[in-house]
Amino acid sequence: MSSNVNVGDAASSEALLEEGYFVAVAIDGIKRRSLLSLRSLVTRMEAHPERITVDIVDAFCFNLDASLIPCNPTPLAVAAGPNTAVSRAELSLAGLTMIPLDPPDELVAPVVAKWPSVFAWMAYFHSIHMNARPPAEIEGVIMGLLGILSGSDLIETLFHTPGLVAMATTIWLKAPSKKADVRLQTSIGFKAILAIATATGGGGAAMDKAMHDEILRCVDGDANKIAELALVPVREASKILTGSEWLLLLHDISILFNLCLGPTHDIRMAVINKRGIPLITALFVRLSSPKNSKSQSPLIRLAISECAKLIEVLITTGGGIPWVKQAILSGLLTGIVNTGAKLSTEFAASESLGGCDSSVAACLHMCETIMAPLVYRSIVDVVEPAFLALDTPETASKLERAPSLGHAWTRLRALVGSRAVLSRSSLCGSQDMGTCEMCNNKLAKDALKRCGGCHYVTYCSKECQREDWKRGHKTGCALDLHIKSKGLNKDDIAPRKRDSSG
């Protein structure tokens, strides 16, 4: 038995020596710009990525000299010849993708040192296929490399690389083909970089206007184009909820959320105008649905959280009364209940100890957000039926898993009920009688005259109107006109008196 072990050890040692000799010869050939040596080493590392070393990474970086990039890039340049700088660069990039995920610092160091040249070649291969889908091998090279590096300390360097955000944006917004979800096959690395970059501005602050403008330039300044393409995966989410596509969808939602938080409202309003609120709310409901067996996974719950935060941003946009209605009518309250119901045992235990799952936290904020517009009768008229439909023992049972969300739900339900009662009593009490804004005389409605400016307040006489104008309606009339410009009237405002409970 011992002799067999010795023979095995000897064979293993011989194999290691042979491997070391092969790598040394290949690296020497690469330094002499041998395409054959480069191809052999890439093929060997593809079969045994665990054997990659700093010397091998350094050899791959050797052929990525930015000064050798063709001046006039064309797709034909890739096939220009067997020993061109383009062919060597393509193989070298492919070799770098063999670096394992979460690599040690020493493996990434050569890439960091030559990053400007590495990215220049990546940008070159991207640029020659700007108007068409890149060949799978080139697309895979770019995406694989960025996917690896985005998880390393190089991420801060990436953010400050001129052109990277633009490249990531054009890939993110790549139009899908008619029968294939091409966009959803694109880079997790690119999307991760864009999601992080738009969230942090590449340096810890909110996305600044420079990055916002750089993204818009990718679509010739057309925010509607961004909204239209960014909503494609949201529309088709029911078809792609498998495997790594969950992660891709999460990045899509995160990027859209970050862009809607940008320094201007153009992208946000474009998303709203493309009926983004009903689409995203429907996705929120679908993700949290009891029928979705995967909704307890941390990845999906993060997607639920991102959806809820995005909806909140959209419905709080200026003039948001119709946006709140859209979300409620699309099932927002159902999604909130389902989020609590699908809380996993682990997170439910955390709740009991004072912790909070990210998706539950987002729904808590949503409940607070819905409270504010309940001063409007038109909102109460939409929210109240939605609550009544969910006022069941099943709902109570679902919310028991998330006590904090159950408490917020109870508060919101109570406020909706009180506002509904006040709204109905005000409506009934003012059917036949009205009040003069100046002297408070109660008269039949048809005996009162409305202000000719705002058509909002009423008076019993011209004298009362003149006095009230001097008293302050001259200023208040402008506010009433503003309210009227929102498409509201006096009857659309729920009573505010004795309403301090909200």
Tell me if residue 65 falls in helix, strand or coil.
Answer: coil
Place of tokens 């709140």: 324
Tell me which long-range contacts 450-454 makes (C-beta under 8 A, separation of at least 24).
451/477, 451/480, 453/477, 453/480, 453/481, 454/480, 454/481, 454/484
Place of tokens 């184009």: 225
pLDDT confidence of residue 427:
56
How many C-beta neighbours within 10 Å does residue 406 have?
18
> Distance between CA 469 and CA 197 in Å, rounded?
53
> What is the DSSP secondary-structure string of 107-167?
HHHHHHHTHHHHHHHHHHHHHTTTTSPPPHHHHHHHHHHHHHHTTSTTHHHHHTSTTHHHH
> 255 — phi, psi (to 5°)?
-65, -45
> 60 — phi, psi (to 5°)?
-65, -40
pLDDT confidence of residue 476:
65
pLDDT confidence of residue 179:
39
pLDDT confidence of residue 481:
54
Tens-digit pLDDT string for the chain (502 aa): 344 444 444 445 555 557 778 888 888 988 888 888 998 998 888 888 888 889 999 999 998 888 888 876 655 544 444 448 888 888 888 888 787 766 777 887 888 888 888 888 888 887 776 554 444 445 555 555 665 665 555 666 666 778 888 888 887 877 444 334 433 344 566 777 788 778 765 444 456 778 888 888 888 889 999 999 888 888 877 665 555 667 778 888 888 898 888 777 889 999 999 999 999 999 999 888 877 666 567 778 888 899 999 999 999 887 678 899 999 999 999 999 988 776 544 444 444 434 457 888 889 899 988 988 888 888 888 999 999 999 888 888 888 878 888 899 999 988 888 888 777 666 555 456 778 888 877 777 777 888 887 777 888 888 888 888 887 777 666 555 544 554 545 444 444 333 333 3
Domain regions of the chain by residue span: 14-162, 315-429, 430-492
- Token representation of residue 83: 């020993």
Question: By C-alpha distance, which of 72, 194, 61, 168 is closest to 124?
Answer: 72
> Distance between CA 258 and CA 430 in Å, rounded?
46
